[in-house]
């Protein structure tokens, strides 16, 4: 048994399974996510405080297209199966992208489903998340990385109904500098004042029908989490943005879920330094489509 303070994990993603009353916590679980990739693990618990595990849910075979940067797995139930969206650094062209894995069980094993990443082949992309639109069509929302475009973008692309590939070209929803709260990211090897980070997208449909997006960037080089919303309720936007981040205390790449007690919860990792990152859980509330932390 492990407590949250004993679990090193980035990008925590919670799948609440009401059938057996357990929470499944996925995330970037390699001890050094910046280097060679081992795979992904899951932790299983009943109260968001004490966990069993880690249990391996994905281990690549020798033919897998990536050997490093195994990042940010999300697991979504879709048409009776479990699909994992995760970022990998491709061996063939030295680019990151989001690929899709599949399993019959939350405990895995997850195996490759898409033929490599479904993000554009020549892009540095990461942190794809699944969104099902009002017509039942699947989309992936993801980030075009600042390391390639300087001003990081958040994009959306249609997926085939079987989630094996993208359909058409991505749409740019907005850039990080369009948003009031992020500031230019100061990197020791990339000194452009136009560096703005986008990562960790997650879609949330508010109780009033508004479509919200949770995503992460930096404020004065401190990791932070903010909210944007679609003015039309459609994934294509236009998108407007909260003036201030919902969380700005060196934590981010979060997601929102409801507990078995029907409480709204934000989870993210903090601090943002390896190997100190831990999962934290923050009670939030929604009123008229606005989200705020419960003090």
pLDDT, tens digit (0-9, with 9 covering 90-100), for 91-128: 999 999 999 999 999 999 999 999 999 999 999 999 99
In this prediction, residue 284 carries a pLDDT of 98
The C-alpha atoms of residue 119 and residue 97 are separated, in whole angstroms, by: 6
The CATH number of residue 42's host domain is 2.115.10.20
In this prediction, residue 25 carries a pLDDT of 99
Q: Which residues constitute the domain of residue 99?
A: 2-293
Query: How many CA atoms does the CB half-sphere of 193 hold within 13 Å?
Result: 0
Query: Cβ distance 37 to 60 under 8 Å?
Result: yes
pLDDT digits (tens, 9 = 90+) for 43-87: 999 999 999 999 999 999 999 999 999 999 999 999 999 999 999
Query: Cβ distance 32 to 69 under 8 Å?
Result: no
pLDDT digits (tens, 9 = 90+) for 235-291: 999 999 999 999 999 999 999 999 999 999 999 999 999 999 999 999 999 998 899
| Total of domains in the chain | 1
> Given its phi and psi angles, is residue 247 left (phi above 0), alpha (psi -120 to 50 degrees) or beta?
beta
In this prediction, residue 186 carries a pLDDT of 87
The C-alpha atoms of residue 85 and residue 128 are separated, in whole angstroms, by: 6
Average pLDDT, the chain: 97
């Amino acid at each position: 048994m492990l407590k949250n303070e004993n679990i090193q994990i980035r990008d925590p993603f919670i799948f609440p399974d009401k059938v057996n009353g357990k929470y499944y916590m996925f995330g970037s679980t390699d001890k050094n996510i910046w280097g060679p990739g081992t795979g992904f693990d899951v932790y299983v618990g009943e109260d968001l405080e004490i966990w069993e595990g880690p249990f391996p849910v994905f281990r690549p075979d020798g033919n897998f297209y990536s050997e490093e940067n195994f990042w940010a797995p999300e697991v979504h139930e879709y048409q009776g199966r479990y699909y994992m969206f995760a970022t990998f650094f491709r061996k063939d062209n030295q680019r990151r992208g989001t690929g899709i894995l599949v399993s019959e069980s939350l405990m895995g094993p997850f195996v490759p489903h898409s033929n490599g990443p479904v993000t554009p082949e020549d892009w540095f992309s990461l942190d794809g998340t699944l969104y099902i639109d009002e017509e039942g069509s699947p989309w992936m929302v993801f980030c075009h990385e600042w390391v390639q475009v300087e001003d990081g973008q958040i994009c959306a692309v249609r997926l085939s109904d079987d989630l094996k590939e993208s359909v058409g070209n991505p749409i740019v929803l907005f850039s990080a500098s369009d948003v009031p709260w992020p500031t230019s990211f100061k990197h020791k090897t990339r000194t452009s004042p136009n560096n703005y980070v986008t990562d960790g997208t997650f879609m949330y449909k508010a109780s009033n029908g508004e479509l919200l997006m949770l995503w992460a960037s930096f404020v004065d080089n401190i990791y932070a989490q903010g909210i944007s919303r679609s003015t039309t309720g459609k994934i294509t936007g236009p998108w407007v943005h909260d003036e201030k981040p919902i969380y700005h205390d060196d934590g981010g790449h979060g997601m929102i879920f409801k507990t078995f007690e029907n409480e709204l919860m934000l989870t993210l990792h903090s601090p943002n330094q390896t190997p100190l990152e831990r999962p934290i859980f923050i009670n939030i509330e929604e009123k008229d489509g606005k989200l705020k932390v419960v003090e």
